[in-house]
Amino acid sequence: MGRIQKRSAGLFVILAVMIISCVCCTGKESEKKENIEDKWLQSANLEAQESPEELYKKALGEDILIVYTVSTRIAEVKDYFEADYPGLSVEVRDIRSTNLVEEVEKNYKNGGSDCDVVLCNDNSGDYKTKLLDTGIVVQYIPWDIKEHMKEGLTDGIYSFVNEAEILFYNSSKYESSPIKNIWELTDTKYSGKIYMPNPLRSFSTYAFCVSLFQHEEEMKKAYEEYYGKTYTDTQQDAVTYFFTELAKNTVFTNSSDQVVEALGNGNADFGIAVSSKLRLSDVGYKMQPVYNLNPYSGCRTSVSVSMARNSKNVNTAKLFIRYLLGERDGKGRGYLPFSTLGTWSARDDVEDANPVPIKDIDLMIPDQDYLINERENMEEFWTKLIAE
């Protein structure tokens, strides 16, 4: 019996040593990884006051720049950039917001650095919580451009352009918006005539839908003004009731592009889409935004720019971000693709391309913490609602 006890005690000691060794190894690996990342951050020297000429010279010794983006307009920036900086090459990977966050996160955790620059909106909180707060991406705006960014756009998340998730109407069918109150969208005459991206697949639409829940009183007041009576349902709040009724009239799509197509081919009377799609009206798409609606016609959104931690092409990334932001004087060609109808400048020295100032539009401003905290509840709510 004593021999068995001694053997058991010996096995326990061996196991304990093995566990401690594994913990130590894990700790050392984690410490090693942190040291490597710290060295990268130090070598990246994001606060350096470098000129475009200095960056270009160093960038010529680097590889192809890889850009992960939610905006197709980056393809135009790529063409301008490569023409203005001979010898440098850019590879653009156009990825949906939800997939982009997953891809950047997965690439980093696998030890890869197959990404240099990241362009993403953060209207669900995923970009902030999964990429920015974890340090998987780092923020960078050149020292001589940062001073020209509008107030608030370099606080927290660096945004380089303002947009909106907004209601559009079919301008081939209506000369002007046929509605003045958001509750009109629940009218059965619009059954199957409203198109909207699935909020679970579109960060911008998610922000619009979730933000409306923070404006219960405004929605009740709009209800009263439209129906001429007080909202009295004690079983569900007004916003829940609104979306329940709206869903009955709505065709859910995978993207704003499909919404725009439905407006263009006449299938939709109304569509909720990102405001930058308004630029397609210049090429014949019959769609116009509803700028004023009681209480809101949309939700303000922003597109952020950051650098992927462990980027192999830091100098090219810095130069590309400079270029994207329009260079020091704001006149660089890189900002041109984002100076179109449906967008508003993030710089105080570059005029808005949109004729209507963003402050004159009935837009909600998303509460980042609320979007993050309500994620689980909203996913459950919309999964059930769309399934019905």
Q: Which domains does the chain have, with CATH numbers?
A: 50-161+302-356 (3.40.190.10), 164-301+363-387 (3.40.190.10)
Helix (H, G, I), strand (E, B) or coil at 41: helix
Q: Buried b vs exposed e over 175-203: b needs ≥16 C-beta within 10 Å?
A: eebebeebbbbbeeebeebbbbbbbbbbb
Instruction: Report pLDDT digits (tens) over 182-211.
Output: 999 999 999 999 999 999 888 889 999 999
CA atoms within 13 A on the CB side of 261: 8
Full 3-state SS string of 331-378: CCHHHHHHCCCCCEECECCCCCCCCCCHHHCCEECCCHHHHHHCHHHH
Q: What type of residue is 47?
A: E
What is the rounded distance in angstroms from the CA atom of residue 262 to the CA atom of residue 194? 9
Looking up tokens 């539009």 gives 361
Partners of residue 270 on adjacent β-strands: 169, 194
Instruction: Report pLDDT digits (tens) over 53-112.
Output: 999 999 999 999 999 998 889 999 999 999 999 999 999 998 876 788 899 998 898 876
Partners of residue 194 on adjacent β-strands: 250, 270
What separation in angstroms does the CA of 290 have from each of 122, 149, 198?
A: 23, 28, 20
pLDDT of 37 reads 59
**Residue 149's Cα: distance from chain center in Å?**
18
CB atoms within 10 A of CB 320: 27
Is-contact 16 22, C-beta < 8 A?
Answer: no
In terms of pTM, does the model score above 0.75? yes
Q: Average per-residue pLDDT in the chain?
A: 88
In this structure, what token pair is assigned to residue 12? 């326990």
Is-contact 223 238, C-beta < 8 A?
Answer: yes
What is the rounded distance in angstroms from the CA atom of residue 309 to the CA atom of residue 142? 17
Instruction: Report pLDDT digits (tens) over 230-258.
Output: 999 988 999 999 999 999 999 999 989 99
Q: What type of residue is 292?
A: N
What is the rounded distance in angstroms from the CA atom of residue 330 to the CA atom of residue 271? 33
Partners of residue 166 on adjacent β-strands: 273, 298
